[in-house]
Amino acid sequence: MPVGGSWSYYAVEFFIINDNWKVLANGRSSSSISPSHFPSGAVPRSTSMAEEQSSGNGVRVCVTGGAGFIGSWLVKKLLQKGYTVHATLRNTGDEEKTRLLRRLVPGAAESGRLVLFEADLYDAATFAPAIAGCQFVFLVATPLRHDATSTKYKSTAEAARDAARVILRLCADAGTVRSVIHTGSMAACSPLREDSTGFKDAVDESCWTPLTVDYPLRSAQYDEYILSKVVSEKELLAYNAGESPAFEVVTVPCSVVAGDTLQGGTTVSLDGVVSPVTRDERQFVALRMLQQLLGSVPLVHVDDVCDALVFCMERRPAMAGRFICAAAYPTIADIVGHFAAKYPHLEILKETEALPSVQAHSDKLGELGFRYKYGMEEILDGSVECAVRFGYLDASKLSLQK
């Protein structure tokens, strides 16, 4: 079963699981860096401490939402590169999540290079201990469901915007932070025109989803999610234009993240990507909604996402601003066509309606030197292999081509 909730609710964000301040390991530091490349469709192997040493030099970084889909992959990559990681979870008593993190790189927790903290976006001040002493802060956690018990916030949008504001203040107060890097969502980057006349010619970083514009399959629940992504990202970016900012803010709106996972099961994004093969109509409808909102179903491999986040941290001179992270912009027809060609013996779900197609005419990350390792085919094939690994698809029926 998928990890992280229903596809219809998450639709584009399908990856982030929030997590939260209580120290679980001693906060001592260590060092290293060695880039890792994980083959599509395979869980990255455990890496020993001796294999990692190279050049993170024990620099402290904070990853909020560290046990989530993207968060766990990012934590592993940072540890392999020699960074000391402060990872936050909402509940440090969740043994499944803490065990996942401690097993990413054997010996990291014991040596003090992985330190777990409990913190919650609905009480953002709790992130202070995790941020303390860090040079870089990765904001991966996001409030996907409103906390009905909250007396402070009426919606996830209110909570997300205030959390962004509080965390920026905490980073400034820490006195050590050099960059804040936010994992955003392309759900906030729709190229729909505000005058309801259709799509712009291309999608780029200037696009902000207009919530006043109607589109097929739109839902009030998803509108709230998009609003939370828009207001929190704008709050973060506004910091760069303030008086004497203490650090740089980078936001990275991610496309549909798929290809593999370190989680204990498939994620909602993986399930959505393979829905033409599984014939899951409900999740296939979510793909259609994405195309109606974004003009495509943009894809990126989780390993490339984390490489991009690290790139934003390590590049000099320091980066600031908004950078979309998408390796490909296929339409539903492109995705279905790939699966139909690979599995001609299967009855693949197909799109019968002519849907709009909008591409990107620029790549800001690429212009700065970042390169994606995985294209559309590798992402789709890796997602299928991942679904097979967790029993979501029957390999014998697929006759997987190697």
Instruction: Classify 257 as helix, strand or coil.
Output: strand
Check whether the bond before 129 is cis (ω within 30° of 0): no
Instruction: Classify 298 as helix, strand or coil.
Output: coil
Q: Which of 76, 77, 229, 342 is catalytic?
A: 229
Task: Find, among 87, 107, 82, 81, the residue nearest to 31 by Cα.
Answer: 82
- For 57, phi then psi, to 5°, come to 55, 30
DSSP assignment of 229-298 equals HHHHHHHHHHGGGSSS-SSEEEEEEE-EEES--SSSS-BHHHHHHTHHHHT-HHHHHHHHHHHHHHSS--
229: annotated active-site residue: yes
> Would strands 114-118 and 321-322 be described as parallel, antiparallel, or unpaired?
unpaired
DSSP assignment of 101-133 equals HHHHSTTHHHHTSEEEEE-BTTBGGGGHHHHTT
E strands, 230-281, are 248-254, 256-258
**What is the C-alpha separation between 289 and 187, in angstroms, rounded?**
11
**What is the C-alpha separation between 115 and 29, in angstroms, rounded?**
10
Instruction: Classify 168 as helix, strand or coil.
Output: helix
What are the catalytic residues?
229
